[in-house]
Chain A
Amino acid sequence: MIHPIPPGTRDVLPDEMRELRRLHLSMVDVFERFGYGEVRTPTIEYDDVIAQGEGRAAAGAYRFFDEQGALLALRSDMTVPIARLAATRFSDADMPLRLCYVADAYRAVRPQRGQMREFTQAGVELIGAEAPGGTAEVIEVLEAALDAAGLTRAVIGLGDADMHRQLLEGWGVEGEACDVALELLARHDLVGLEAHLIALQSVNEADRRTLVELSQLRGGREALAEARELGGPAVQRATMRIQETYDALDERGAADRVQIDLGLLRDLGYYSGAILEVYDPAVGHILGGGGRYDKLMARYGADLPAAGFSLYLERVHVAQMEEERILRAEAQQ
Protein backbone atom coordinates (compact mmCIF):
# COMPACT_ATOMS: atom_id res chain seq x y z
CA MET A 1 0.00 0.00 0.00
CA ILE A 2 1.21 3.51 -0.83
CA HIS A 3 0.33 6.18 1.73
CA PRO A 4 1.31 9.60 0.40
CA ILE A 5 3.08 12.50 2.13
CA PRO A 6 2.62 16.14 1.07
CA PRO A 7 4.75 17.41 -1.83
CA GLY A 8 7.90 19.16 -0.67
CA THR A 9 8.32 16.89 2.34
CA ARG A 10 10.17 13.59 2.56
CA ASP A 11 11.01 10.63 4.74
CA VAL A 12 14.65 10.15 5.63
CA LEU A 13 15.76 6.52 5.85
CA PRO A 14 18.62 5.13 7.97
CA ASP A 15 21.55 5.35 5.51
CA GLU A 16 20.89 8.98 4.70
CA MET A 17 19.90 9.78 8.28
CA ARG A 18 23.21 8.44 9.56
CA GLU A 19 25.10 10.79 7.25
CA LEU A 20 22.86 13.76 7.98
CA ARG A 21 23.23 13.18 11.72
CA ARG A 22 27.02 13.04 11.36
CA LEU A 23 26.95 16.30 9.41
CA HIS A 24 24.62 17.85 11.98
CA LEU A 25 26.97 16.91 14.82
CA SER A 26 30.08 18.10 13.03
CA MET A 27 28.42 21.49 12.40
CA VAL A 28 27.48 21.88 16.07
CA ASP A 29 31.00 20.80 17.09
CA VAL A 30 32.50 23.60 15.01
CA PHE A 31 30.02 26.16 16.30
CA GLU A 32 30.64 25.12 19.92
CA ARG A 33 34.40 25.34 19.38
CA PHE A 34 33.97 29.01 18.48
CA GLY A 35 31.87 29.55 21.59
CA TYR A 36 28.40 29.39 20.01
CA GLY A 37 25.82 27.70 22.22
CA GLU A 38 23.10 25.64 20.54
CA VAL A 39 19.51 26.74 21.05
CA ARG A 40 16.13 25.42 20.02
CA THR A 41 13.05 27.54 19.43
CA PRO A 42 9.48 26.39 18.82
CA THR A 43 8.59 25.28 15.29
CA ILE A 44 5.38 27.31 15.62
CA GLU A 45 5.35 30.95 16.69
CA TYR A 46 2.79 33.71 16.93
CA ASP A 47 2.43 35.05 13.42
CA ASP A 48 2.44 38.71 14.45
CA VAL A 49 5.60 38.31 16.56
CA ILE A 50 7.52 36.78 13.63
CA ALA A 51 6.07 39.26 11.13
CA GLN A 52 7.39 42.08 13.35
CA GLY A 53 10.93 40.84 12.69
CA GLU A 54 10.48 40.17 9.01
CA GLY A 55 9.13 43.68 8.54
CA ARG A 56 6.29 42.69 6.27
CA ALA A 57 2.61 41.95 6.60
CA ALA A 58 2.60 38.17 6.20
CA ALA A 59 5.36 36.08 7.73
CA GLY A 60 5.21 32.35 7.18
CA ALA A 61 3.74 30.49 4.25
CA TYR A 62 1.96 28.14 6.63
CA ARG A 63 -0.33 29.80 9.10
CA PHE A 64 -3.18 28.37 11.13
CA PHE A 65 -5.36 29.01 14.15
CA ASP A 66 -4.84 27.26 17.45
CA GLU A 67 -7.67 26.09 19.71
CA GLN A 68 -7.89 29.60 21.25
CA GLY A 69 -8.16 31.27 17.85
CA ALA A 70 -4.61 32.71 17.92
CA LEU A 71 -2.87 32.91 14.54
CA LEU A 72 0.29 30.78 14.50
CA ALA A 73 2.95 30.40 11.81
CA LEU A 74 5.62 27.83 10.96
CA ARG A 75 8.99 29.60 10.95
CA SER A 76 10.53 30.31 7.54
CA ASP A 77 14.06 30.69 8.89
CA MET A 78 15.86 30.76 12.25
CA THR A 79 17.29 34.28 12.28
CA VAL A 80 14.03 35.98 13.22
CA PRO A 81 13.08 33.47 15.98
CA ILE A 82 16.59 33.81 17.45
CA ALA A 83 16.33 37.61 17.37
CA ARG A 84 13.07 37.23 19.31
CA LEU A 85 14.70 34.77 21.72
CA ALA A 86 17.76 36.98 22.29
CA ALA A 87 15.67 40.08 22.96
CA THR A 88 13.41 38.16 25.35
CA ARG A 89 15.78 35.84 27.23
CA PHE A 90 19.08 37.67 27.16
CA SER A 91 18.10 41.30 27.63
CA ASP A 92 20.54 41.66 30.55
CA ALA A 93 23.27 39.35 29.26
CA ASP A 94 26.82 40.38 28.46
CA MET A 95 27.37 41.03 24.78
CA PRO A 96 28.25 39.72 22.33
CA LEU A 97 25.92 36.77 22.41
CA ARG A 98 26.90 33.69 20.41
CA LEU A 99 24.10 31.28 19.49
CA CYS A 100 23.83 28.45 16.97
CA TYR A 101 21.19 26.04 15.72
CA VAL A 102 20.43 23.13 13.44
CA ALA A 103 16.71 23.28 12.79
CA ASP A 104 13.95 22.76 10.25
CA ALA A 105 12.28 25.73 8.55
CA TYR A 106 9.26 25.92 6.23
CA ARG A 107 8.62 27.81 3.03
CA ALA A 108 6.03 27.82 0.28
CA VAL A 109 6.75 25.87 -2.88
CA ARG A 110 5.92 26.54 -6.49
CA PRO A 111 4.13 23.62 -8.05
CA GLN A 112 6.08 20.97 -9.93
CA ARG A 113 9.49 22.41 -9.22
CA GLY A 114 10.67 19.77 -6.79
CA GLN A 115 11.09 22.38 -4.08
CA MET A 116 11.16 21.54 -0.41
CA ARG A 117 8.56 22.87 2.01
CA GLU A 118 10.51 21.55 4.96
CA PHE A 119 14.29 21.76 5.06
CA THR A 120 17.09 21.90 7.62
CA GLN A 121 19.29 24.92 8.28
CA ALA A 122 22.52 24.97 10.28
CA GLY A 123 23.89 28.34 11.32
CA VAL A 124 25.06 30.85 13.87
CA GLU A 125 23.96 34.27 15.09
CA LEU A 126 26.44 36.73 16.61
CA ILE A 127 24.50 39.43 18.45
CA GLY A 128 26.05 42.59 19.85
CA ALA A 129 29.25 42.57 17.75
CA GLU A 130 29.72 45.33 15.20
CA ALA A 131 31.16 45.32 11.70
CA PRO A 132 33.79 44.62 10.64
CA GLY A 133 35.07 42.41 13.49
CA GLY A 134 31.77 40.62 14.04
CA THR A 135 31.29 39.96 10.32
CA ALA A 136 34.81 38.56 10.03
CA GLU A 137 34.23 36.24 12.99
CA VAL A 138 31.04 34.88 11.42
CA ILE A 139 32.82 34.26 8.11
CA GLU A 140 35.63 32.47 9.93
CA VAL A 141 33.11 30.16 11.62
CA LEU A 142 31.44 29.57 8.25
CA GLU A 143 34.78 28.58 6.70
CA ALA A 144 35.45 26.15 9.56
CA ALA A 145 31.97 24.65 9.11
CA LEU A 146 32.56 24.16 5.36
CA ASP A 147 35.93 22.54 6.08
CA ALA A 148 34.33 20.23 8.63
CA ALA A 149 31.87 19.17 5.94
CA GLY A 150 34.76 18.44 3.59
CA LEU A 151 33.86 21.31 1.27
CA THR A 152 37.35 22.76 1.06
CA ARG A 153 36.71 24.15 -2.43
CA ALA A 154 33.62 26.12 -1.38
CA VAL A 155 33.70 29.88 -1.94
CA ILE A 156 32.02 32.62 0.09
CA GLY A 157 30.69 35.63 -1.80
CA LEU A 158 30.88 38.91 0.15
CA GLY A 159 28.79 41.89 -0.94
CA ASP A 160 26.97 44.88 0.46
CA ALA A 161 23.21 44.96 0.94
CA ASP A 162 22.82 48.75 0.99
CA MET A 163 24.96 49.93 -1.92
CA HIS A 164 22.48 49.49 -4.77
CA ARG A 165 19.57 51.13 -2.94
CA GLN A 166 21.73 54.09 -1.87
CA LEU A 167 23.10 54.44 -5.36
CA LEU A 168 19.61 54.46 -6.89
CA GLU A 169 18.22 56.83 -4.28
CA GLY A 170 21.15 59.16 -4.91
CA TRP A 171 19.95 59.35 -8.52
CA GLY A 172 16.42 60.11 -7.36
CA VAL A 173 15.08 56.61 -8.05
CA GLU A 174 12.85 55.92 -5.05
CA GLY A 175 9.82 53.97 -3.92
CA GLU A 176 8.42 51.40 -6.29
CA ALA A 177 10.79 52.23 -9.15
CA CYS A 178 13.71 51.56 -6.79
CA ASP A 179 12.19 48.28 -5.54
CA VAL A 180 11.68 47.08 -9.12
CA ALA A 181 15.30 47.88 -9.98
CA LEU A 182 16.55 46.06 -6.86
CA GLU A 183 14.43 43.04 -7.67
CA LEU A 184 15.86 42.95 -11.20
CA LEU A 185 19.35 43.23 -9.73
CA ALA A 186 18.68 40.43 -7.25
CA ARG A 187 17.48 38.23 -10.14
CA HIS A 188 20.44 39.48 -12.14
CA ASP A 189 18.21 40.29 -15.10
CA LEU A 190 20.62 42.80 -16.62
CA VAL A 191 18.63 43.20 -19.84
CA GLY A 192 15.48 43.97 -17.85
CA LEU A 193 17.40 46.31 -15.55
CA GLU A 194 18.69 48.40 -18.45
CA ALA A 195 15.23 48.58 -19.97
CA HIS A 196 13.72 49.61 -16.61
CA LEU A 197 16.30 52.37 -16.09
CA ILE A 198 15.89 53.66 -19.65
CA ALA A 199 12.12 53.84 -19.11
CA LEU A 200 12.65 55.87 -15.93
CA GLN A 201 14.49 58.57 -17.89
CA SER A 202 15.80 60.19 -14.68
CA VAL A 203 18.91 58.00 -14.80
CA ASN A 204 21.46 59.08 -17.39
CA GLU A 205 23.37 56.64 -19.55
CA ALA A 206 26.64 56.87 -17.60
CA ASP A 207 24.90 56.05 -14.31
CA ARG A 208 23.04 53.20 -15.97
CA ARG A 209 26.31 51.70 -17.15
CA THR A 210 27.77 52.16 -13.66
CA LEU A 211 25.00 50.11 -12.07
CA VAL A 212 25.23 47.31 -14.62
CA GLU A 213 29.04 47.21 -14.50
CA LEU A 214 29.06 47.25 -10.70
CA SER A 215 26.81 44.22 -10.62
CA GLN A 216 29.42 42.36 -12.71
CA LEU A 217 32.39 43.10 -10.42
CA ARG A 218 33.52 40.07 -8.47
CA GLY A 219 36.92 38.77 -7.42
CA GLY A 220 39.65 39.77 -4.96
CA ARG A 221 40.73 43.23 -3.84
CA GLU A 222 41.00 44.36 -7.46
CA ALA A 223 37.19 44.30 -7.66
CA LEU A 224 37.08 47.02 -4.98
CA ALA A 225 39.58 49.16 -6.88
CA GLU A 226 37.53 48.80 -10.05
CA ALA A 227 34.37 49.70 -8.16
CA ARG A 228 35.96 52.84 -6.75
CA GLU A 229 36.85 53.94 -10.25
CA LEU A 230 33.18 53.75 -11.17
CA GLY A 231 32.73 56.26 -8.37
CA GLY A 232 29.97 57.93 -6.41
CA PRO A 233 29.61 58.37 -2.65
CA ALA A 234 27.35 55.32 -2.23
CA VAL A 235 29.96 53.12 -3.92
CA GLN A 236 32.75 54.65 -1.80
CA ARG A 237 30.85 53.88 1.40
CA ALA A 238 30.06 50.33 0.34
CA THR A 239 33.58 49.53 -0.87
CA MET A 240 34.92 50.96 2.41
CA ARG A 241 32.65 48.63 4.40
CA ILE A 242 33.65 45.62 2.30
CA GLN A 243 37.32 46.60 2.48
CA GLU A 244 37.18 46.76 6.30
CA THR A 245 35.59 43.33 6.50
CA TYR A 246 38.10 41.93 4.03
CA ASP A 247 41.02 43.45 5.99
CA ALA A 248 39.67 41.98 9.22
CA LEU A 249 39.44 38.59 7.49
CA ASP A 250 42.96 38.97 6.16
CA GLU A 251 44.24 39.55 9.71
CA ARG A 252 42.61 36.28 10.74
CA GLY A 253 44.10 34.55 7.69
CA ALA A 254 40.57 33.85 6.47
CA ALA A 255 40.27 35.93 3.29
CA ASP A 256 41.50 33.34 0.78
CA ARG A 257 38.18 31.75 -0.03
CA VAL A 258 36.18 34.96 0.08
CA GLN A 259 35.12 36.42 -3.26
CA ILE A 260 34.19 40.09 -3.17
CA ASP A 261 31.00 40.49 -5.20
CA LEU A 262 29.43 43.88 -5.84
CA GLY A 263 26.51 42.27 -7.63
CA LEU A 264 25.40 40.28 -4.59
CA LEU A 265 21.88 41.01 -3.41
CA ARG A 266 19.72 38.77 -1.26
CA ASP A 267 15.97 38.86 -1.19
CA LEU A 268 15.49 38.61 2.59
CA GLY A 269 14.28 41.95 3.87
CA TYR A 270 16.30 42.34 7.06
CA TYR A 271 19.89 42.50 5.77
CA SER A 272 22.03 45.63 6.02
CA GLY A 273 25.72 46.06 5.27
CA ALA A 274 27.67 42.87 4.57
CA ILE A 275 25.87 39.99 2.86
CA LEU A 276 27.17 36.50 2.19
CA GLU A 277 26.46 33.63 -0.18
CA VAL A 278 28.08 30.19 -0.24
CA TYR A 279 28.94 28.27 -3.42
CA ASP A 280 30.58 24.97 -4.11
CA PRO A 281 31.86 24.11 -7.60
CA ALA A 282 30.27 20.65 -7.40
CA VAL A 283 26.66 21.89 -7.26
CA GLY A 284 24.68 24.46 -9.22
CA HIS A 285 22.77 26.07 -6.34
CA ILE A 286 23.87 28.23 -3.42
CA LEU A 287 24.56 26.28 -0.23
CA GLY A 288 23.57 29.06 2.13
CA GLY A 289 24.05 32.68 2.98
CA GLY A 290 23.93 35.33 5.62
CA GLY A 291 25.25 38.73 6.52
CA ARG A 292 24.60 41.60 8.87
CA TYR A 293 21.19 42.56 10.14
CA ASP A 294 21.94 45.55 12.31
CA LYS A 295 18.36 46.79 12.36
CA LEU A 296 16.56 43.50 13.07
CA MET A 297 17.16 43.38 16.84
CA ALA A 298 15.75 46.88 17.24
CA ARG A 299 12.43 45.59 15.92
CA TYR A 300 12.32 43.52 19.13
CA GLY A 301 13.32 46.44 21.31
CA ALA A 302 17.02 45.60 21.64
CA ASP A 303 19.04 47.93 19.43
CA LEU A 304 22.05 45.68 18.82
CA PRO A 305 24.24 45.05 15.79
CA ALA A 306 24.16 41.43 14.63
CA ALA A 307 25.39 39.05 11.94
CA GLY A 308 25.00 35.39 11.09
CA PHE A 309 24.81 32.74 8.41
CA SER A 310 22.84 29.62 7.68
CA LEU A 311 23.66 26.61 5.52
CA TYR A 312 21.03 24.40 3.91
CA LEU A 313 22.07 21.14 5.52
CA GLU A 314 20.63 18.85 2.83
CA ARG A 315 22.42 20.82 0.10
CA VAL A 316 25.68 20.65 2.01
CA HIS A 317 25.14 16.90 2.18
CA VAL A 318 24.66 16.68 -1.61
CA ALA A 319 27.79 18.79 -2.18
CA GLN A 320 29.69 16.55 0.22
CA MET A 321 28.75 13.47 -1.79
CA GLU A 322 29.62 15.16 -5.10
CA GLU A 323 33.02 16.31 -3.81
CA GLU A 324 33.74 12.77 -2.57
CA ARG A 325 32.80 11.41 -6.00
CA ILE A 326 35.15 13.85 -7.71
CA LEU A 327 37.97 12.83 -5.38
CA ARG A 328 37.27 9.15 -6.06
CA ALA A 329 37.29 9.74 -9.82
CA GLU A 330 40.57 11.66 -9.58
CA ALA A 331 42.12 8.92 -7.46
CA GLN A 332 41.22 6.31 -10.08
CA GLN A 333 42.93 8.18 -12.89
Chain B
Amino acid sequence: MTGVSRVPRARAGGRLKVAVPRGALFAETLEVLEKVGIDVSELRGDSRSLVFDVDDFELVTMRPSDVPTYVEAGAADVGITGKDVLLEQADRVVYELLDLGYGMCRMVVAARRGDDSMSEAQRRLGGMRIATKYPRIAEDFFESTGRQAEVIDVKGSVELAPLVGLADGIVDLVATGRTLAENDLEVREEIVTCTARLVANRVSHKLRAAEVDDLTAKLREATGQ
Protein backbone atom coordinates (compact mmCIF):
# COMPACT_ATOMS: atom_id res chain seq x y z
CA MET B 1 0.00 0.00 0.00
CA THR B 2 1.47 3.31 -1.01
CA GLY B 3 1.25 6.80 0.37
CA VAL B 4 -1.44 9.35 -0.26
CA SER B 5 -0.34 12.18 -2.49
CA ARG B 6 -0.91 15.78 -1.73
CA VAL B 7 -3.83 16.97 -3.76
CA PRO B 8 -3.18 18.75 -7.01
CA ARG B 9 -5.44 21.71 -7.36
CA ALA B 10 -6.12 21.79 -11.07
CA ARG B 11 -9.78 22.08 -11.87
CA ALA B 12 -12.05 20.37 -14.32
CA GLY B 13 -14.83 22.21 -16.12
CA GLY B 14 -14.77 24.27 -19.27
CA ARG B 15 -12.97 22.92 -22.31
CA LEU B 16 -11.48 19.45 -22.22
CA LYS B 17 -7.75 19.96 -21.66
CA VAL B 18 -5.54 17.89 -23.92
CA ALA B 19 -1.80 17.60 -23.27
CA VAL B 20 -0.02 17.64 -26.65
CA PRO B 21 3.61 16.48 -26.74
CA ARG B 22 6.12 18.73 -28.46
CA GLY B 23 9.26 17.13 -29.89
CA ALA B 24 9.41 13.91 -31.88
CA LEU B 25 5.69 13.11 -31.54
CA PHE B 26 4.49 16.65 -32.29
CA ALA B 27 3.95 16.50 -36.07
CA GLU B 28 2.17 13.15 -36.09
CA THR B 29 0.07 14.10 -33.08
CA LEU B 30 -1.13 17.22 -34.92
CA GLU B 31 -1.97 15.11 -37.98
CA VAL B 32 -4.04 12.74 -35.88
CA LEU B 33 -5.81 15.56 -34.05
CA GLU B 34 -6.57 17.14 -37.42
CA LYS B 35 -8.07 13.85 -38.61
CA VAL B 36 -10.53 13.86 -35.73
CA GLY B 37 -11.63 17.35 -36.71
CA ILE B 38 -9.60 19.57 -34.41
CA ASP B 39 -8.21 22.67 -36.09
CA VAL B 40 -4.50 22.64 -35.25
CA SER B 41 -3.34 25.35 -37.67
CA GLU B 42 -2.44 27.69 -34.80
CA LEU B 43 -0.18 25.04 -33.26
CA ARG B 44 1.59 24.60 -36.59
CA GLY B 45 2.51 28.27 -36.73
CA ASP B 46 5.58 29.65 -35.02
CA SER B 47 3.59 30.98 -32.08
CA ARG B 48 5.39 30.83 -28.77
CA SER B 49 2.11 30.27 -26.96
CA LEU B 50 1.81 27.09 -24.92
CA VAL B 51 -1.97 26.95 -24.64
CA PHE B 52 -4.42 27.02 -27.56
CA ASP B 53 -8.22 27.18 -27.31
CA VAL B 54 -9.70 25.29 -30.25
CA ASP B 55 -13.45 24.51 -30.37
CA ASP B 56 -14.28 22.30 -27.39
CA PHE B 57 -10.66 21.70 -26.53
CA GLU B 58 -7.84 23.45 -24.76
CA LEU B 59 -4.64 22.12 -26.31
CA VAL B 60 -1.72 22.40 -23.90
CA THR B 61 1.71 21.83 -25.42
CA MET B 62 4.58 20.47 -23.34
CA ARG B 63 7.54 18.12 -23.26
CA PRO B 64 6.40 14.50 -23.67
CA SER B 65 7.96 13.60 -20.32
CA ASP B 66 5.78 16.20 -18.56
CA VAL B 67 2.52 14.76 -19.93
CA PRO B 68 2.04 12.13 -17.16
CA THR B 69 2.68 14.79 -14.50
CA TYR B 70 0.02 17.14 -15.84
CA VAL B 71 -2.49 14.37 -16.54
CA GLU B 72 -2.03 12.69 -13.15
CA ALA B 73 -2.70 16.00 -11.43
CA GLY B 74 -5.74 16.75 -13.56
CA ALA B 75 -4.10 19.90 -14.98
CA ALA B 76 -4.80 18.17 -18.30
CA ASP B 77 -7.81 15.82 -18.63
CA VAL B 78 -6.21 13.66 -21.30
CA GLY B 79 -2.85 13.60 -23.01
CA ILE B 80 -0.69 11.93 -25.61
CA THR B 81 2.80 10.69 -24.87
CA GLY B 82 5.18 7.85 -25.70
CA LYS B 83 5.09 4.46 -23.99
CA ASP B 84 8.76 5.03 -23.10
CA VAL B 85 7.71 7.99 -20.95
CA LEU B 86 4.92 5.96 -19.32
CA LEU B 87 7.27 3.08 -18.55
CA GLU B 88 9.89 5.39 -17.11
CA GLN B 89 7.25 7.10 -14.95
CA ALA B 90 5.30 3.95 -14.12
CA ASP B 91 4.42 5.27 -10.68
CA ARG B 92 2.30 8.08 -12.14
CA VAL B 93 -1.36 7.18 -11.83
CA VAL B 94 -2.83 7.76 -15.29
CA TYR B 95 -5.27 5.65 -17.28
CA GLU B 96 -3.78 4.28 -20.50
CA LEU B 97 -6.71 4.17 -22.88
CA LEU B 98 -5.37 3.63 -26.36
CA ASP B 99 -2.32 2.64 -28.38
CA LEU B 100 -2.21 5.26 -31.12
CA GLY B 101 0.28 3.25 -33.15
CA TYR B 102 2.47 6.08 -34.40
CA GLY B 103 5.84 7.26 -33.13
CA MET B 104 7.17 3.72 -33.23
CA CYS B 105 10.56 3.40 -31.53
CA ARG B 106 12.57 0.63 -29.93
CA MET B 107 14.13 0.79 -26.48
CA VAL B 108 17.45 -0.98 -26.93
CA VAL B 109 20.73 -1.85 -25.30
CA ALA B 110 23.57 -0.62 -27.53
CA ALA B 111 27.35 -0.69 -27.34
CA ARG B 112 30.35 0.20 -29.50
CA ARG B 113 30.55 -1.84 -32.64
CA GLY B 114 32.70 -4.91 -32.16
CA ASP B 115 33.55 -3.96 -28.60
CA ASP B 116 33.13 -6.60 -25.89
CA SER B 117 33.54 -4.41 -22.80
CA MET B 118 29.95 -5.16 -21.76
CA SER B 119 30.48 -8.89 -21.59
CA GLU B 120 33.97 -8.53 -20.18
CA ALA B 121 32.74 -6.25 -17.39
CA GLN B 122 29.90 -8.67 -16.77
CA ARG B 123 32.28 -11.62 -16.51
CA ARG B 124 35.23 -10.09 -14.67
CA LEU B 125 33.63 -7.29 -12.65
CA GLY B 126 30.21 -8.88 -11.99
CA GLY B 127 28.30 -6.12 -13.73
CA MET B 128 28.39 -3.53 -16.48
CA ARG B 129 28.03 0.23 -16.49
CA ILE B 130 25.06 1.45 -18.50
CA ALA B 131 24.41 5.10 -19.32
CA THR B 132 20.82 6.09 -20.01
CA LYS B 133 18.11 8.71 -19.85
CA TYR B 134 15.76 5.90 -18.78
CA PRO B 135 17.24 4.62 -15.49
CA ARG B 136 14.07 2.93 -14.36
CA ILE B 137 13.51 0.99 -17.60
CA ALA B 138 17.19 0.03 -17.67
CA GLU B 139 17.24 -1.16 -14.05
CA ASP B 140 14.03 -3.15 -14.49
CA PHE B 141 15.32 -4.76 -17.68
CA PHE B 142 18.65 -5.91 -16.26
CA GLU B 143 17.03 -7.06 -13.05
CA SER B 144 14.37 -9.02 -14.94
CA THR B 145 17.06 -10.74 -16.98
CA GLY B 146 19.09 -11.61 -13.88
CA ARG B 147 22.06 -9.35 -14.60
CA GLN B 148 23.74 -6.71 -12.50
CA ALA B 149 24.29 -3.29 -13.93
CA GLU B 150 25.39 0.05 -12.61
CA VAL B 151 22.94 2.45 -14.22
CA ILE B 152 24.34 5.94 -14.82
CA ASP B 153 21.72 8.64 -15.30
CA VAL B 154 22.70 11.19 -17.98
CA LYS B 155 20.63 14.01 -19.42
CA GLY B 156 22.23 14.84 -22.78
CA SER B 157 23.49 12.72 -25.69
CA VAL B 158 23.74 9.22 -24.28
CA GLU B 159 25.80 8.05 -27.28
CA LEU B 160 28.74 9.93 -25.87
CA ALA B 161 29.05 7.77 -22.75
CA PRO B 162 30.55 4.57 -24.25
CA LEU B 163 32.74 6.56 -26.67
CA VAL B 164 34.65 8.23 -23.85
CA GLY B 165 34.52 5.37 -21.38
CA LEU B 166 31.84 6.59 -18.97
CA ALA B 167 29.88 3.40 -19.61
CA ASP B 168 30.21 -0.01 -21.28
CA GLY B 169 26.88 0.39 -23.03
CA ILE B 170 23.73 2.45 -23.21
CA VAL B 171 19.97 1.99 -22.99
CA ASP B 172 18.22 4.39 -25.32
CA LEU B 173 15.30 4.93 -27.61
CA VAL B 174 16.02 4.27 -31.29
CA ALA B 175 13.81 5.27 -34.20
CA THR B 176 15.90 4.85 -37.36
CA GLY B 177 19.19 3.82 -35.78
CA ARG B 178 21.05 6.52 -37.64
CA THR B 179 22.36 8.30 -34.54
CA LEU B 180 23.71 5.00 -33.26
CA ALA B 181 25.41 4.23 -36.57
CA GLU B 182 26.95 7.70 -36.82
CA ASN B 183 28.54 7.18 -33.41
CA ASP B 184 29.76 3.72 -34.31
CA LEU B 185 27.31 2.03 -31.93
CA GLU B 186 25.21 -1.07 -32.61
CA VAL B 187 22.06 -2.55 -31.10
CA ARG B 188 22.81 -5.52 -28.87
CA GLU B 189 19.42 -6.24 -27.34
CA GLU B 190 15.88 -5.02 -27.77
CA ILE B 191 13.93 -4.22 -24.59
CA VAL B 192 10.52 -3.06 -25.76
CA THR B 193 8.77 -1.37 -28.68
CA CYS B 194 7.20 1.99 -27.85
CA THR B 195 4.40 3.89 -29.57
CA ALA B 196 2.28 6.95 -28.74
CA ARG B 197 -0.46 6.37 -26.17
CA LEU B 198 -3.61 8.21 -25.12
CA VAL B 199 -3.76 8.66 -21.35
CA ALA B 200 -6.44 10.15 -19.10
CA ASN B 201 -6.71 11.57 -15.61
CA ARG B 202 -8.69 9.15 -13.47
CA VAL B 203 -11.18 11.74 -12.21
CA SER B 204 -11.70 13.26 -15.68
CA HIS B 205 -12.26 9.73 -17.00
CA LYS B 206 -15.17 9.41 -14.57
CA LEU B 207 -16.62 12.91 -14.48
CA ARG B 208 -16.17 13.81 -18.15
CA ALA B 209 -16.89 10.30 -19.38
CA ALA B 210 -18.82 11.26 -22.51
CA GLU B 211 -16.17 13.67 -23.82
CA VAL B 212 -13.27 11.36 -23.01
CA ASP B 213 -15.02 8.35 -24.59
CA ASP B 214 -15.92 10.36 -27.67
CA LEU B 215 -12.36 11.56 -28.21
CA THR B 216 -11.02 8.04 -27.58
CA ALA B 217 -13.41 6.53 -30.15
CA LYS B 218 -12.49 9.16 -32.75
CA LEU B 219 -8.78 8.69 -32.17
CA ARG B 220 -9.18 4.92 -32.38
CA GLU B 221 -10.82 5.34 -35.76
CA ALA B 222 -8.36 7.94 -37.02
CA THR B 223 -5.34 5.81 -36.16
CA GLY B 224 -6.93 2.58 -37.35
CA GLN B 225 -6.14 0.86 -34.03
Binding site for B on A (CB under 8 A): 8, 61, 76, 107-110, 113-117, 119, 155, 157, 187-192, 216, 218-219, 259, 261, 267-268, 277, 279-286, 312, 314-315, 318-319, 322, 326
Contact = CB atoms under 8 A, between A and B. Distances in A.
Contacts of A114: 5-6
Contacts of B98: 190-191
Given A115-B6, A117-B3, A284-B75, A188 B11 contact: no
B40 interface: no
A218 B216 CA distance: 15
B29 interface: no
Contact of B99 (A155, A191, A286): A191
A281 B11 contact: yes
Contacts of B73: 284-285
Mostly helix, strand, loop or mixed at chain B's interface? mixed
B9 A155 contact: no
Contacts of B24: none
B96 A116 contact: no
A284 B204 contact: yes
Contacts of B10: 283-284
Given A8-B3, A189-B96, A322-B9, A113 B207 contact: no
A277 B91 CA distance: 20
A155 B207 CA distance: 8
Interface in B67-110: 72-75, 91, 93, 95-99
Interface stretch (B54-62, B124-132, B171-179, B195-203): B195-203
A30 B93 CA distance: 32
Given A191-B96, A279-B206, A281-B12, A116 B3 contact: yes
Nearest to A115: B3
Contacts of A115: 2-6
Contacts of A285: 5, 7-8, 73-74, 202-203
B6 A261 contact: no
B140 interface: no
A291 to B, nearest CB: 16
B75 to A, nearest CB: 7
A322 B9 CA distance: 7
A109 B197 contact: no
List the 9 shortest-distance A-B pairs measured between CB atoms, nearest first: A284-B74, A115-B3, A109-B3, A188-B95, A318-B7, A281-B12, A189-B96, A107-B3, A191-B99
Among B8, B74, B203: residue with most chain A CB under 10 A: B203
B13 interface: yes
Contact of A107 (B1, B6, B8, B202): B1
Contacts of B8: 283-285
B96 A107 contact: no
A113 B204 CA distance: 21
B100 to A, nearest CB: 10
A286 B203 contact: yes
B199 to A, nearest CB: 9
A282 B96 contact: no
Nearest to B204: A284
Contacts of B6: 114-116, 314
Nearest to B70: A284
Contacts of B74: 283-285
A219 B209 contact: yes
Contact of B5 (A61, A76, A116, A279): A116
Nearest to A106: B3
Given A190-B97, A191-B98, A283 B203 contact: yes
B213 A279 contact: no
A157 B8 CA distance: 20
Interface in B1-54: 1-13
Nearest to A188: B95
Contacts of B218: none
Given A107-B4, A191-B197, A219-B209, A281 B91 contact: no
A281 B99 contact: no
B194 to A, nearest CB: 11
A133 B163 CA distance: 69
A126 B107 CA distance: 51
B5 A284 contact: no
Contacts of A110: 2-3, 91
Contact of B206 (A76, A109, A259): A259
A131 to B, nearest CB: 22
Interface string B116-155: 0000000000000000000000000000000000000000
A61 B1 contact: yes
16 contacts: A108-B3, A110-B2, A155-B207, A189-B96, A191-B96, A191-B98, A218-B206, A277-B206, A279-B207, A280-B203, A281-B13, A284-B10, A284-B75, A284-B201, A284-B204, A315-B4
A114 B7 CA distance: 9
B216 to A, nearest CB: 8
